[in-house]
């Protein structure tokens, strides 16, 4: 099964942002496979865009996506089903980043993806690599 690692970055937040998708190779090393950037964005938006890119990159095949974004895992697995059922509304006001929430939820529902949360910034090699490449993408790096 394909294993992808994702991360997003914006510095300052909000500000220029980037995201990266790392492919875990059979020997356990990582290889950046998708990078993206936006001129004015937030960390949360870039994390979401990284997961969108990873799901699209899997091309319908089963995969695991490792992310340090508990927020996006909760959106996809806990909150979005209820928001969708209520016409994309929630108690307490509008849903932030609804454009990305809806895009991501639609492709997630049709995918064969397992989301795996990893604690960020504790030295996990491929999570650190995803962070490094997200920052490089923010600065304009291309593959």
> Which of 26, 27, 28, 121 is the catalytic position?
121
* Torsion, CA 15, CA 54, CA 110, CA 49, rounded to 10: 0
Report the distance separating Cα 23 and Cα 141, nearest Å: 17
Active site annotation includes 112: no
Report the distance separating Cα 133 and Cα 19, nearest Å: 7
Active site annotation includes 8: yes
Active site annotation includes 139: no
> Which of 36, 48, 66, 68 is the catalytic position?
68
> Which of 17, 38, 47, 66 is the catalytic position?
47
Active site annotation includes 68: yes
* Torsion, CA 84, CA 86, CA 91, CA 92, rounded to 10: 60
Active site annotation includes 106: no
Active site annotation includes 7: yes
> Which of 60, 131, 132, 140 is the catalytic position?
131
Catalytic residues: 7-8, 47, 68, 121, 131
């Amino acid at each position: 099964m394909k294993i992808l690692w994702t991360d997003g970055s914006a510095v300052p937040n909000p500000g220029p942002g980037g995201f990266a998708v790392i492919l875990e190779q059979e020997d356990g090393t990582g290889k950046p496979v998708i990078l993206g950037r936006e001129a004015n964005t937030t960390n949360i938006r870039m994390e979401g865009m990284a997961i969108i890119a990873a799901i699209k990159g899997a091309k319908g095949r089963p995969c695991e996506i490792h992310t340090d974004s508990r927020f996006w895992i909760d959106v996809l697995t806990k909150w979005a089903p209820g928001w969708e059922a209520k016409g994309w509304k929630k108690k307490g006001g509008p849903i932030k980043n609804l454009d990305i929430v809806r895009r991501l939820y639609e492709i997630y529902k049709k995918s064969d993806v397992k989301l795996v949360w990893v604690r960020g910034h504790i030295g996990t090699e491929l999570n650190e690599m995803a962070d490094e490449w997200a920052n490089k993408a923010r600065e304009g790096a291309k593959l």
